[in-house]
Amino acid sequence: MSIPALRLGAVTLPNPVILAPMAGITDAPVRRMAVRHGAGLVISEMLASEALLEGHPEMLLRAEGEGVSFHAVQIAGNDPRLMGEAARVAEAAGAGLIDINMGCPAKRVTTGAAGAALLRDLPLARAIFEEVRGAVSVPVTVKTRLGWDEGSPTAVALAEMAEACGLSMVTIHGRTRCQFYTGRADWSAIRAVKDAVSIPVIANGDVVSLADGPAILAASGADGLMIGRGAQGRPWFPGRVAQVLAGRMVEEDPPLDLQRDILLELYEGWLSLYGTTLGVRQARKHIGWALDAAATGQGNARAAFVERWRKALLVLDEPGRVKAGITAAYDELMWRAAA
C-alpha cells in the first residue's frame, strides 16, 4: 500500500498518521513521545477559545508545544470573533496549524453550542471557518463526526463548506454525536466525505491494532488516519502504523525494556510540566494503560498482573517510589518472558 504525502497548504506531513487530541491525555509529554516514535502529526488537547484568551493556566499547559517541532493547536468555541482571536494568539505562540473542534459530544460543550453542536448550525460553522481562516496564515483544519445523529449525516455538507472556506483538511470520527463513544466507528461511512471534497480527509475511530491502519484507509478511502485511545499507554503506536503503511514489517509494540524507559521518561515529563503533586496524579491513568499494554503477552494472567501493580503503584505519592515500582513491574514481566 503506497500512501501519498499529506499536504496541508504549505505544510507537508512526514506521514499520514495523526495522534488524536484527547483532553487530559495527549498532553505535551505524550505528544513529544509520539512524534519521537514517528507520528506524522500531533494536535494539542482542546482549548476553549475564551479560556485561551484569558490566559487560563490550564489552557497554557494544554497548548504547550515545546519539544515538538511542528506544533498544532485545537480550539473550541462558538463565537467566530473570539475563535479568530484565539487562533491568532495560538499562531503568535508558535502554532503551525489550527484545528477547529466540531466533534466534541460532551454536554457541557454542546449545550454551549460548541463542538459537535456546530453540526446542527452550519451557518455558524461557516462563520467560524471564515473568521479563523482569515485570522491566521497557517493551515486551518476541522475535526468532526459523521453528523449529529443517524438521520443527519451532516459531515458531508460541513466538509464541503470547510473546503469552500479555504480549510486544508477535515478529520471525521466515524460516529455521530448521539453515539458518543458507543458501538463501532463506521469507517465506510467516511467515504461519502472523501468523495465530496478534494482536500485531505482523515479517518478516525477504533484503530487499535497495526492491521486496523490499512483497513480504515481501505474502508473509508481516506488520505490518512487519526488514532486516539489506541495510543493510550502506547505513544509509539501511531508511528508503528505509519511504518506498516510504508510497507515495513514491525512488531505491534516495542521490547519491554524500551516500553519501561518510555514510561519513565514520560513520568519525568509529567512531573516537570505539572509540578510534583499534580504530575503524580496526572501520571496514574497513563501508568495503568502502559502496564496493560506491557502485559499483552501474559494471556489470562494479564488482568491480575495489571490490577496488582495498579493497586501497588497508584496509591503512591512519592515519585521515587513510583519510579522504583514501575521498574519492578517491568522487571517482573521481563523475568516471566524469559522463564
Ligand X SMILES: Cc1cc2nc3c(=O)[nH]c(=O)nc-3n(C[C@H](O)[C@H](O)[C@H](O)COP(=O)(O)O)c2cc1C
Q: Which residues bind ligand X (CB under 6 A)?
A: 20-25, 45-46, 74, 101, 103-104, 143, 173, 204-207, 227-230
What would the grid cell of residue 157 be? Answer: 455538507
Distance CA 61, CA 50 (A): 15
CA 311 to chain CA centroid, Å, is: 28
Report the SS3 class of residue 56.
Answer: coil
Distance CA 148, CA 175 (A): 9
Which of residues 62 and 194 has its CB atom nearest to ligand X in the complex?
62
Query: Would you list the DSSP string of 235-253?
Result: TTHHHHHHHHHTT----SS
Residue 260 C-beta: closest distance to ligand X, Å: 24
Residue 333 C-beta: closest distance to ligand X, Å: 25
Distance CA 316, CA 218 (A): 45
Are 31 and 44 in contact by the 8 Å Cβ rule? The answer is yes
Which of residues 244 and 256 has its CB atom nearest to ligand X in the complex?
244
Which residues lie below 8 Å from residue 335, measured CB to CB, with a gap of 6+?
Answer: none
Q: Is 104 a catalytic residue?
A: yes
Which of residues 181 and 297 has its CB atom nearest to ligand X in the complex?
181
Give long-range contacts, CB 8 A cutoff, 24+ apart: 157-162. 157/122, 158/102, 158/118, 158/119, 158/122, 158/125, 159/193, 159/196, 159/197, 159/199, 159/201, 160/196, 160/197, 161/122, 161/125, 161/126, 161/129, 162/129, 162/197, 162/199
Q: Of residues 104, 193, 245, 262, which has the active-site annotation?
A: 104
Residue 205 C-beta: closest distance to ligand X, Å: 5
Residue 104 C-beta: closest distance to ligand X, Å: 6
CA 185 to chain CA centroid, Å, is: 16
What would the grid cell of residue 6 be? Answer: 499529506
Residue the block writes with cell 501520571: 283
Q: Which residue is nearest to ligand X (CB)?
A: 228
Residue 99 C-beta: closest distance to ligand X, Å: 7
Residue 130 C-beta: closest distance to ligand X, Å: 20
Which of residues 172 and 256 has its CB atom nearest to ligand X in the complex?
172
Which of residues 6 and 256 has its CB atom nearest to ligand X in the complex?
6
Which of residues 115 and 153 has its CB atom nearest to ligand X in the complex?
115
Q: Which residues are catalytic?
A: 104
